[in-house]
Amino acid sequence: MERLRKVLLASALNETCVVQVLREAALEISSPGTATALLAAAHILENDAELLLHAAHRIDLALHHAPAGGGDPLVVMD
């Protein structure tokens, strides 16, 4: 589960970087329609990054509250 948490965090970071690039491109583009599409894509990826961070946080909580026997606790995902 620790590896999954790290992958989720890395994915969230990657998506956040892409969001920044999309926003910068939207500022530089001369076509309003294209700029709007880039900003819409950035918004979707930003939401995805937030979901990935939330999932990583839930896994982190599960790891810190794992039973002493080492078994993975059940985690209810929203």
Residue ranges per domain, the chain? 2-64
Does this model's pTM top 0.85? no
* Tens digits of residue pLDDT in 6-62: 999 999 999 999 999 999 999 999 999 999 999 999 999 999 999 999 999 999 999
- Distance from C-alpha of 39 to C-alpha of 47, rounded to nearest angstrom: 12
Whose CA is closest to 59, among 17, 12, 18, 16? Answer: 12
Element (H, E) at 57: helix 32-64
Give 66's contacts (C-beta < 8 A, 6+ positions apart).
72, 73
